Every structure is written in structure tokens, then in C-alpha cells.
Amino acid sequence: MNAKELMRSRYDAFVREDWEYLADTSLHQSVEELQTSPPMEWLKLDILNVTKETVEFKAYYRESDGINVLHEKSSFVELDGDWKYNDGILYNSQVQRNESCPCGSGKKFKKCCQQK
């Protein structure tokens, strides 16, 4: 496994709310900390840039106030052959009006979920 593969598997674990896996693949996050995250419906993951030890991504999710995006540059470390999430830099991003709606409708965001 490499950093990009771990990033994808961690996204899948967030979708499934597999807190044990997320804690096991992190250097600093505990199950208890992860379980306190507000409930979200994860919609889509876009990988933007990958290096050996970093993955920049946008993860789209739905909350009570609408669709939002988590834009992060995550850093990973390899310990004894296993990759672990270390930390990340968060960016202040929003879903852009003219991008495809993350809900999967095929419409532009401004003509779909932004109006709700």
C-alpha cells in the first residue's frame, strides 16, 4: 500500500464509519475522537495531487446545511512497512457554482443542490 491507496481506504472507512480502521491507520487519532465527528453523508472523493508522502484531495459531503467540501493536503508516514495518516493542512474551499454537483445528478451545482 502507498499513501494514495491509504487515503482512498480511509475515505471508504469514513463512509462506513469504521472508526477502528481509521484509528489503526492514524498516528494521532483515537476511536473516541473520531466518533465525535458530526454525522455526514460522504458523496465523492477527488484526488488532486499526490507525492510519495502527501495526498491533496477534496471530499464532498452533505450535512443539514447542504453540500460542503473538505479540502486537505494530508501527510502520511511509513512505519515498519505500514502507511499511517500523520496530519493535514486544511484549505478554505467551497463547492463552485459551475462544477458538477457532487450528489451525482450530472447537473451543475448551481442548478441542483445549491438551490435547495
- C-alpha 112/C-alpha 87 separation (Å) is 33
- C-alpha 30/C-alpha 11 separation (Å) is 16
- Which sign does the torsion angle of CA 90, 14, 94, 49 carry? positive
* Share above pLDDT 70 across residues of the chain, in percent, rounded to a whole number: 98
Considering the chain, what is the average pLDDT of its residues? 90
pLDDT for residue 5 is more than 70: yes
Return the pLDDT at 116.
58
What length is written for the chain? 116
List pLDDT tens digits, range 62-80.
887 788 999 999 999 999 8
* Share above pLDDT 90 across residues of the chain, in percent, rounded to a whole number: 55
Q: Which long-range contacts (CB under 8 A, 24 or more apart) does 24-30 make?
A: 25/83, 25/84, 25/85, 26/84, 26/85, 27/77, 27/84, 27/85, 27/86, 27/87, 28/86, 28/87, 29/85
More confident residue, 29 or 25: 25
pTM of the model: 0.86
List pLDDT tens digits, range 100-116.
888 888 888 888 887 65
Residue 68 CA, chain-centre distance (Å), reads: 11
- Kindly list the structural domains of the chain, giving each domain's residue range(s) and its CATH number in brackets, ordered by start: 3-115 (3.10.450.50)
